[in-house]
A and B are shown apart, each in its own frame.
Chain A
Amino acid sequence: MREASLPKRIDAANQKAIERLFQADPVLVDVIPAKEAIPALVDHTILHAGPPIAWDQMCGPMRGAVVGIAMFEGWADDLRQAEELASEDEFAFHPNHHFSAVGPMTGMTTRSQPVLVVENRAFGNRAFCTLNEGLGKVMRFGGNDASVLARLAWLRDVLGPALGAALRKSGGISLKPLVARGLTMGDEMHQRNVGCSSLIVRALAPDLARSVEDHSMLADMLAFLGANDQFFLNIAMAMGKAVMDPVRGIDAATVVTAMSRNGTDFGITVSGLDDQWFTAPVEMPTGLYFPGFTAADANPDMGDSTIVETVGLGGFAMAAAPAVAGFVGAGSAAEAANTTRTMGEITLARNPEWTMPSLDYQGVPTGIDIRLVVETGITPLINTGIAHREPGVGQVGAGVVRAPFDCFEKALTALADRLEVV
């Protein structure tokens, strides 16, 4: 009886999904212009974070980023003109995810920007992410003034090419072992990346030095990299995308392949449901605010960075990062450990290569199963930065936010239909 074997069929499919996930071999190999990485990125095409969204639904920071990047690319002379073009449907908006890419917060990806390239050597697929701009007034929070555009230009013309050259010289940096080290240093790769950011700069420095003849330029680059505790976030995101993409499209599998937000909607994709998005309104993060800011200033949840939780890091690995617990207002170290344990209720496996010393080297909970989310009512917990609702102001706090239950309910119903469960 076909019906009786359905759970077994799903379990087998999930097993295959987990195997593919763990077989991944993500390597940071290059930094190249986005148009080389993604040929479909022509003029007037803008990739954004999260599931599909139209201009008139975009939140303040995302609109700020759109008009800013339009100017950066030379598609508009000023912000007003950029806004007009946007409202006249002159730009083609697509999710990063549809083009093997991810981007933090507003997640703008356009043809001229340099993107990190992570190659999953086990399957040959690649994933891309722009370079992290640093803190403060930046485009990922909707910043679009001259200083923001100037920095983007510097990334495009100076740092990007230099990093690319250094990476090519190095033959690529294997990311799994680096992340494993970061977990023992208190990183969880979403809100806390200082360990891995330090490790990657250390790994790149010699080849960077060999690739940049001008000492003053090299000094500027190292200063920039050294000042950015979150530099590794974008690498971790591209890694997550590269790891999860081969897990897409396994018939009957219920493993989540992506989670993402566009400031309005939260979307998930599920292995057995190919690239279909299941969306619901984003929830508001709860957390701690920097001095001078309150919850009234917060933008709704945004960014592709939840790909990090999708592979078992971030909020899922909070037990490895007790310092983050206080930072995001999740409480004490014991509560951080409990968060990881609770995420264990909705995941199928523990990653043997990414272990947490404080939990007796238990592996991070990996492989979110939509059936377990629906059964237990426990939704994935995400460590996230909180952006100011006004474009360009920047980060105003950090907190935890949940993936909406409705996404999983919709996905489960769709899967049941697909599998012809009456």
Chain B
Amino acid sequence: MISTSGKLARLMLGLSLLSTVWAQRRRDPLNPVEADQLRDAAQEPAERLKLYIEFARTRLASLEQMRADPKVTNRPQQTHDRLQNFLDVYDELNDNIDTFVGRKADLRKPLKTVIDADTEFQAKLRALKSSLDASKDETKEYDFLLTSVVETVDSSLQDHRQLLSEQEEAAKHKKKEKP
């Protein structure tokens, strides 16, 4: 089934090659400089995760700055876009953690940094959410997204803690096994 439909699908993908220019115009949450930094750190879990944390932090800071600026127009749309940007970067951070776990990398040290960042993001997002509760009209445009972001960070924090404790346990056993 896959091999026959695969031919058709490959043709479809071939056609998509023709739309390279269109594809390049589509949204990527990272700018070219950030993408280059990640490429340089491709084999370094600690460095790569640190970069993602920094990129996510920058997105949240940009959201806070925008919201503090009284001159900003179209605040709901801008809040939505900045939240989405943060979430895209944060999803990629999680995806990279999964990849490094798959490669059996020792993530104990970088995970501590990630957990610290999770806690920081969680506090900022919760503060944002409670500050918005008063202005329900404005939040219509991004209420669902904000809830998704808060839920994602909450559940990821739990996952990261769990993963750290599993890795610490595994490291203890490894030590014991050594003569």
Partners in one complex: no
